[in-house]
Amino acid sequence: MIPHLTLLAAEETTSLIDWWNSLWFRPQSSTVAGQVDWVFNFVMAVCIFFFVLIVGMLLVFLAKYVSRPGHKPESSPSHNDKLEITWSVIPLIITFFIFYYGFVGYLDMRTPPDDALEVKVVGKKWAWSFQYPNGAIDSELHAPLGQPVRLVMSSDDVIHSLFIPAFRVKQDVVPGRYSKTWFTATKTAPEDNGDSFPDPDEGGFDLFCTEYCGTSHSQMKAKVIIEKSDGDFLNYLNKINDPRNGGAPVEVGEKLYNRRGCVQCHSIDGSAKAGPTWKGSYGTEAELVTGEKVKVDENYIRESILNPMAKVHKGFNPVMPTYQGQLKDDEIFAIIQYIRSLSGTAVEDWPARPEAPVVDPNAPPKN
């Protein structure tokens, strides 16, 4: 949408505009960015005109009418309705155009295309998580180049705001409701060029939280990685879909503990929260509300995750939601290994398996 200045040589025009834009902005990397920058530049032109006009008049008057020996104030009309109405109406007309262009751009920003890929975003103090249509969850946002992506966002605690400067998109993430925004990336982020100076968006577009949310608000950020092709994106989905890519089972288990909500109710320091602590629990005998006793082992943990109401621990309310269909076998295995590690029990490595599963990213989420 950048208007062409045909009077200048084409190359010079481009370099001048490039210089101006790089002074103010990160490179435009989404379909709406050009429009935002165009309106910004339009407003900037209006501002420069009025600024030069006002400050210019101020300086001219200062030079001409500054008090000095022999200088007297001259009389001039103390009002002029025509003049005053003119300088009221002209700005009004100009602001109407600014409003209109901003409005049109805003409509585009708020209207995602129908074929958009949907990614669920959850913000909580102080991390982002992104869930893809196949159910896989990651802390980085990946998307294919040129593909509209719709973000459906919610918050687990306070208000956050998702902001990707290179895409010029921002939307608050409010607890208790879903908010939405979308983008279509037109560029991949610049590669790390190896120099010591950190360039903006190097190795992935910056994604910031822009609504103040407490201690680590400034570290609630993520990278947006734009995959060059749909194939690359599929490979990425397959990669994160397999828990084994996350490292040893204990490490994967710890990540799941923090990311999938276990941490809200189960402590790892021995204190009781809404649910029993995981520390030192493995291998002990747990008393159930029915009075029965049961050994806390692989089978009991697995059953408690998939069917929490079957055997409720005495002294706790039956409030745990089921994770049936939300955790894969490998993930449950990883959580068990993590619980074992908290009880000082030896942990195991991934069990053998024939081959990695192949996942179709367009399939509906498993949950």
Partner 1 sequence: MVTQAKEHLDFHSLGLTEDRRVIIPEGKSYLSGGGLWSWVFTLDHKRIGVMYLASILTFFLVGGIFALLVRAELYTPDIDLISKLFGLDAEKAKDKYNEFFTLHGAIMVFLFIIPSIPAALGNIILPMQLGAKDVAFPRMNLASYHLYVWGALFFIGALLMTGLDTGWTFYAPYSTTTVGPVAMATLGAFILGFSSIFTGLNFVVTVNTMRPKGMTWFRMPLFLWGVYATAIIQILATPVLAITLLLLTFERVFGLGIFDPKLGGDPVLYQHFFWFYSHPAVYIMILPGMAIISDVIPTFSRKPIFGYTFIAYSSIAIALLGFLVWGHHMFTSGQSPLASVVFSAITFSVSIPSAIKVFNWTATMYKGSIHLNTPMCYALSFIFLFTIGGLTGLFLGALNVDVHLHDTYFVVAHFHYVMMGGTLIAFLAGLHYWWPKIFGKMYNETWARVACVIIFIGFNWTFLPQFVLGTHGMPRRYATYEPQFQAGHRLSTQGAFFLGSGLFLAGGVLLHSLLKGKKAPPNPWGAATLEWKCCSPPTTQNFETTPWVGFPYDYSDFVYDPNEEGYVEVLPDLARSAKH
Q: Count of CB atoms within 10 A of residue 156's CB?
A: 14
Per-residue contact flags (x/-) with partner 1 for residues 195 to 234, judged by CB under 8 A: ---xxx-----x-xxxxxxxxxxxx---------------
Of 17-25, 184-192, 249-257, 293-301, which segment contacts partner 1 by CB under 8 A?
A: 17-25
Half-sphere exposure of 276 (CA within 13 A, CB side): 22
Q: What is the DSSP letter of 166?
A: G
Residues 6 or more apart whose Cβ sits within 8 Å of residue 349:
248, 249
Taking the complex as a whole, the smallest distance from the CB of residue 204 to partner 1 amounts, in Å, to 12
Dmax (CA) of the chain: 107
Answer yes or no: are the C-beta atoms of 276 and 286 closer than 8 Å: yes
Taking the complex as a whole, the smallest distance from the CB of residue 94 to partner 1 amounts, in Å, to 9
The H or E element spanning position 19 is helix 10-24
Nearer to partner 1, 87 or 287 (CB): 87
The H or E element spanning position 123 is strand 117-124
Structure tokens at 186: 């037109």
3-state secondary structure of 111: coil
Taking the complex as a whole, the smallest distance from the CB of residue 297 to partner 1 amounts, in Å, to 35
Answer yes or no whether residue 264 interacts with partner 1 by CB under 8 A. Answer: no
Number of amino acids touching partner 1 (CB under 8 A): 89
At 270, which amino acid appears?
G
Nearer to partner 1, 183 or 338 (CB): 183
Nearer to partner 1, 99 or 295 (CB): 99
Contacts to partner 1 from residues 155-174, by CB under 8 A: 157-159, 161, 163, 165-166, 168-172, 174
Q: Count of CB atoms within 10 A of residue 19's CB?
A: 9
Nearer to partner 1, 209 or 237 (CB): 209
Nearer to partner 1, 82 or 358 (CB): 82
Taking the complex as a whole, the smallest distance from the CB of residue 160 to partner 1 amounts, in Å, to 10
Answer yes or no whether residue 46 interacts with partner 1 by CB under 8 A. Answer: yes
Contacts to partner 1 from residues 54-113, by CB under 8 A: 54-55, 57-58, 61-62, 65-76, 78-80, 83-84, 87-88, 91-92, 95-96, 98-99, 101-110
What is the DSSP code string of 173-230? E-BTS-EEEEEEB-SPPPPP-S-SSPPTTTTSEEEEE-S--STTGGG-EEEEEEESSH
Answer yes or no: are the C-beta atoms of 305 and 331 closer than 8 Å: no
Among positions 13, 131, 147, 179, the unique one binding partner 1 when judged by CB under 8 A: 179
Taking the complex as a whole, the smallest distance from the CB of residue 189 to partner 1 amounts, in Å, to 13
Q: How far apart are CA 24 and CA 165, in angstroms?
A: 12
Nearer to partner 1, 211 or 227 (CB): 211
Nearer to partner 1, 3 or 70 (CB): 70
Q: Count of CB atoms within 10 A of residue 106's CB?
A: 14
Among positions 36, 224, 286, 320, the unique one binding partner 1 when judged by CB under 8 A: 36
Q: How far apart are CA 272 and CA 9, in angstroms?
A: 73
Taking the complex as a whole, the smallest distance from the CB of residue 54 to partner 1 amounts, in Å, to 5
Taking the complex as a whole, the smallest distance from the CB of residue 88 to partner 1 amounts, in Å, to 6
Answer yes or no whether residue 346 interacts with partner 1 by CB under 8 A. Answer: no
